A and B are shown apart, each in its own frame.
Chain A
Amino acid sequence: NAGVTQTPKFRILKIGQSMTLQCAQDMNHNYMYWYRQDPGMGLKLIYYSVGAGITDKGEVPNGYNVSRSTTEDFPLRLELAAPSQTSVYFCASSSLRANTGELFFGEGSRLTVL
């Protein structure tokens, strides 16, 4: 019962580098989300998807890109990493909209940009 799997769990980047955070779910959920959590702050929505081929911006999308080519996968791309992107990133999925159903979260990916 894997649920939502995120990789990597930890990563250190240099300013200007790029990387992709991977997220996969095996529950056949249509809805997938990327959140970031800065120290002492709540989770903020970066991007979300309501199904394969459909993505939309959340509250803090600048500096990120996403794609949803399959139901299972929802990778988050960071281009030209900046120190402001140092955060913990959570991927989540749900079968219904988040305000109706239950979000299932991955364990998080801790990213540090130096």
Chain B
Amino acid sequence: GNSVTQMEGPVTLSEEAFLTINCTYTATGYPSLFWYVQYPGEGLQLLLKATKADDKGSNKGFEATYRKETTSFHLEKGSVQVSDSAVYFCALDGSSQGNLIFGKGTKLSVKP
């Protein structure tokens, strides 16, 4: 079955540092890929998505490119802010039910 592996956290960065959170997947076919973010005290919300190979999803300065050859969907941001502190979840299309399979989440803390 489909699965997703996400880098372990927590990740601690200084403000304006470059961020990469790794995500790799195992899947049959070409599933849609997602990044969700959970800010403290809130529910998860969609950050970005990509639906086919070589697509780049982007939002709020974050980017991720659907790489079929490396089965990856790494999340990047060029300059993080304190307000980016949150837990980030990689997810993919899980099944014919149309549901998502989530990674374990990576906690990011950005220090001023």
Chain B residues with CB under 8 A of A99: 31-32, 93-94, 98-100
Mark the stretch among B11-19, B43-51, B66-74 that contacts chain A.
Answer: B43-51
**B contact residues, total (Cβ < 8 Å):** 24
**A contact residues, total (Cβ < 8 Å):** 27
Contact A90/B98 with A40-B104, A99-B32 known, Cβ cut-off 8 Å: no
Q: In the assembly, what is the distance between CA of A41 and CA of B38, in Å?
A: 15
Within 8 A of A (CB), among B34-70: 36, 38, 41-46
Is B4 positioned at the interface, with any CB of A under 8 Å from its CB? yes
Chain A proximity mask over B1-34: 1 for CB below 8 Å, otherwise 0 = 0001010000000000000000000000001100
CB <8 Å contact, A100 and B32: yes
Q: Which of B89, B99, B104 contacts A48 (CB 8 A)?
A: B99
CB <8 Å contact, B103 and A56: no
Chain A residues with CB under 8 A of B45: 104-105
Q: Which of A48, A100, A102, A108 contacts B43 (CB 8 A)?
A: A108
- Tell me how far the C-beta of B5 lies from the nearest C-beta in chain A, rounded to whole angstroms: 10
> For residue B31, which residue of chain A has the nearest CB?
A99
Q: Which of A3, A33, A41, A98 contacts B104 (CB 8 A)?
A: A41
Q: Which of A4, A58, A102 contacts B99 (CB 8 A)?
A: A58
Is A82 positioned at the interface, with any CB of B under 8 Å from its CB? no
> For residue A42, which residue of chain B has the nearest CB?
B102
CB <8 Å contact, B43 and A4: yes
Is A14 positioned at the interface, with any CB of B under 8 Å from its CB? no
CB <8 Å contact, A100 and B36: no
Chain B proximity mask over A54-80: 1 for CB below 8 Å, otherwise 0 = 001010000000000000000000000
Task: Name B's A-contacting residues (CB within 8 A).
Answer: 4, 6, 31-32, 36, 38, 41-46, 89, 93-94, 97-105
Provide a sorted-by-A list of 5 A–B residue pairs whose CB atoms are within 8 angstroms. A33-B99, A41-B104, A45-B94, A97-B99, A104-B45
Task: Name A's B-contacting residues (CB within 8 A).
Answer: 3-4, 31, 33, 35, 37, 40-43, 45, 48, 56, 58, 90, 92, 97-100, 102-108
